[in-house]
Amino acid sequence: MAANPDSLRISDVPSRARTVAFARGDGIGPEITDAVLTVMEAAGARLDLQEVPLGRGVYESGTRSGVDPAAWDILRGSRAFLKAPVSTPQGGGFKSVNVTIRKSLGLFANVRPCRSYHPFVASRHPSMDVVIVRENEEDTYAGIEHRATAEVVQCLKLVSRPGCERVIRYAFNYARDRGRRKVSCLTKDNIMKLTDGLFHEVFDEVAAGYPDLLAEHHIVDAGAARLTTRPEKFDVIVTPNLYGDILSDVAAEISGSIGLAASANVGDEFAMFEAVHGSAPDIAGRDLANPSGLLLAGVMMLGHVGLAEEASRVHNAWLRVLERGLHTADIFQHGVSSRRVGTREFARAIVAELGSAPRRLQAVQYGPTRTGVRRPAHSRPPRRPRKDLVGIDVFLDWDEDGRDPVALAGRLASAGSPALELRMITNRGVKVWPAGLPETFRTDHWRCRFLRRDPGRPLRHAELQSLLAAISGAGLDYVKTEHLHEFDGVPGYSSGQGE
């Protein structure tokens, strides 16, 4: 395997790394946690386990985030967190524990392996083995939304270069450390040329540093179609937050084993591991629950804290039990399963197989590396580009004159400005002036683009302010502005559709 400067050898991992927080969660959480801890202990995983109060009891004590204030110190002192599912109370301003932890601790990558276990678990795609790495903090999930006018609301999509870089670098390191061959990037950069364009651009830059891995890009809609029909064409996928949210559920579902799926939320040092399923209150406390999702989360966690050998041992024993047909009720199939077992018996069967390998399913072998980012968390481009202010987009709430763009342009022209000239008006991104089409539907929300008259010198803020004062003075209601810059002479703004 090629040397990987971004990976850490096991011997480099300080002993603190083995401090692991866990939470038993709600519903089936406690029983599957017991099963998982039993298996990990039997596998010889030496962990310093710290229990964290989380979920129902914490919500009931009035903490709306669901995370006890005392939990933060335990989490900060740990390298990883194994979290059983938590029931989120409906309404009442309660926040999901996951969102709270993910955002508070900077867990920038969500990793979800989606594998089929055909023929032991029914799947339409017998050879599927895809890992989705989803950017976890940016994109439209910053939750910055505004109502601009009576008719129009908006959501701000924020994408940063360091945000792209660390999740993409994580995906390449993950692929390399696990002997995978290809990383596919999915974006919609044919439409969102700046935001998704940046993600794609950084992907190409990072890929150049991994010549041992294949790298490819798909437009997300075509890529998603291909993923659902021919998932075996994919290996590791890296994608922005929203697409990743959707695709990771789709991929887990079509693998046929969503009930067995696990995910990791990974930060620079700390990571949180959990099953994809919820707390299943309908079967709680009855020894019916399948502990596999949390167990596979535990396997990822062992790898993260440098216990690769123990991770392989647990995973292979689990695969062997699946093959032997000892199945919990949720995956039991006549003709395939040999016996229906409860949560506890399933765990005992795995313990009994520790040291065995699967015979038909592919065995796993985790390497002695830990996929860390090992880069400054906020690495900057080598040089900050020259930035020139060249104009402004002024958004108006305007519902007069039959919403005739020519009339609006006339009002804006009379507002006048010595430094700036009106170049274009769009409505929902489509150019309506000059030379718009009468068929274009028009809302009460107008984007009016002004650019500098003298391309020889950058604008000053005062010139924008006098333009806005003139617009106000003409009786027009501006509800938002965006400054237009060139970076090293390249426009940092999109053109209007139809421009």
Q: What residues make contact with Mg ion under the rule CB under 5 A?
A: 245
Answer for which of 113, 231, 259, 298 binds ligand NAI (CB under 6 A) is 259
SS3 content of the chain, % helix, strand, coil (to 5): 35, 25, 40
| C-beta of 294 vs 424, nearer to ligand NAI | 294
Answer for which of 71, 183, 207, 280 binds ligand NAI (CB under 6 A) is 280
| C-beta of 257 vs 328, nearer to Mg ion | 257
Residues numbered 130-169 forming contacts with ligand NAI, rule: CB under 6 A:
none
| C-beta of 79 vs 102, nearer to ligand NAI | 102
- Least distance in Å: CB of 29 to ligand NAI? 8
**Closest CB to Mg ion: residue number:** 245
**Closest CB to ligand NAI: residue number:** 278
Stretch that binds ligand NAI, among 247-255, 280-288, 309-317, 425-433 (CB under 6 A): 280-288
Note if the bond before 119 is cis, omega within 30 degrees: yes
Distance separating alpha carbons of residues 49 and 83, to the nearest angstrom: 12
Binding site partner of 86, from Mg ion, ligand NAI, none, Cβ cut-off 5-8 A by kind: ligand NAI
Concerning whether 188 is annotated as a catalytic residue, the answer is yes
- Least distance in Å: CB of 55 to ligand NAI? 8
| C-beta of 58 vs 283, nearer to ligand NAI | 283
Distance separating alpha carbons of residues 129 and 251, to the nearest angstrom: 10
- CB atoms inside a 10 Å sphere around CB 434: 13
Note if the bond before 376 is cis, omega within 30 degrees: no
Dihedral angle computed from the Cα positions of residues 286, 292, 298 and 299, in that order, rounded to the nearest 10 degrees: 160
If one asks whether residue 58 binds ligand NAI (CB under 6 A), the answer comes out as: no
Binding site partner of 278, from Mg ion, ligand NAI, none, Cβ cut-off 5-8 A by kind: ligand NAI
Concerning whether 221 is annotated as a catalytic residue, the answer is yes
Residues numbered 229-258 forming contacts with ligand NAI, rule: CB under 6 A:
none
| C-beta of 278 vs 458, nearer to ligand NAI | 278
If one asks whether residue 282 binds ligand NAI (CB under 6 A), the answer comes out as: yes
Of 237, 240, 343, residue with least CA distance to 285 = 343
Cross-strand bridge partners of residue 211 = none
Pairing relationship of beta strands 369-371 and 7-9 according to DSSP bridges: antiparallel
Binding site partner of 245, from Mg ion, ligand NAI, none, Cβ cut-off 5-8 A by kind: Mg ion
- Least distance in Å: CB of 418 to ligand NAI? 58
Binding site partner of 200, from ligand NAI, Mg ion, none, Cβ cut-off 5-8 A by kind: none
Cα dist. 413→127, 209, 243, 284, 431 in Å?
63, 52, 42, 68, 17
Full 3-state SS string of 242-289: HHHHHHHHHHHHHHCCHHHCEEEEECCCCEEEEECCCCCHHHCCCCCC
Cα dist. 213→1, 173, 182, 353 in Å?
11, 10, 5, 34
| C-beta of 31 vs 245, nearer to Mg ion | 245
- Least distance in Å: CB of 332 to ligand NAI? 10
Binding mask 284-303 for ligand NAI (x = CB under 6 A): -----xx--x----------
Residue whose entry in the numeric block shows the structure tokens 């107008």: 446
Residues with Cβ within 8 Å of residue 365, at least 6 apart in sequence:
312
If one asks whether residue 345 binds ligand NAI (CB under 6 A), the answer comes out as: no
Concerning whether 245 is annotated as a catalytic residue, the answer is yes
| C-beta of 102 vs 313, nearer to Mg ion | 102
Binding mask 85-124 for ligand NAI (x = CB under 6 A): xxxx---------x--------------------------
Of 83, 35, 44, residue with least CA distance to 346 = 35
| C-beta of 276 vs 364, nearer to ligand NAI | 276
Alpha-carbon 181 to chain mean position: 22
Residues numbered 22-41 forming contacts with ligand NAI, rule: CB under 6 A:
28
Residue type, 303: G
Residues with Cβ within 8 Å of residue 429, at least 6 apart in sequence:
447, 496, 497
In the three-class reduction of DSSP (H, G, I as helix; E, B as strand; rest coil), residue 417 is classed as coil
Nearest-5° angle of CA 120, CA 289, CA 326? 35
Catalytically annotated residue among 59, 117, 141, 174: 141
Concerning whether 141 is annotated as a catalytic residue, the answer is yes
Concerning whether 249 is annotated as a catalytic residue, the answer is yes
Give the count of residues interacting with ligand NAI (CB under 6 A): 19
Distance separating alpha carbons of residues 287 and 34, to the nearest angstrom: 11
- Least distance in Å: CB of 329 to ligand NAI? 7
Q: Do the beta carbons of residue 207 and residue 215 sit within 8 Å?
A: yes
Q: Do the beta carbons of residue 432 and residue 442 sit within 8 Å?
A: yes
Contacting positions for ligand NAI (CB under 6 A): 28, 85-88, 98, 259, 274, 277-283, 289-290, 293, 330
Catalytic positions: 141, 188, 221, 245, 249
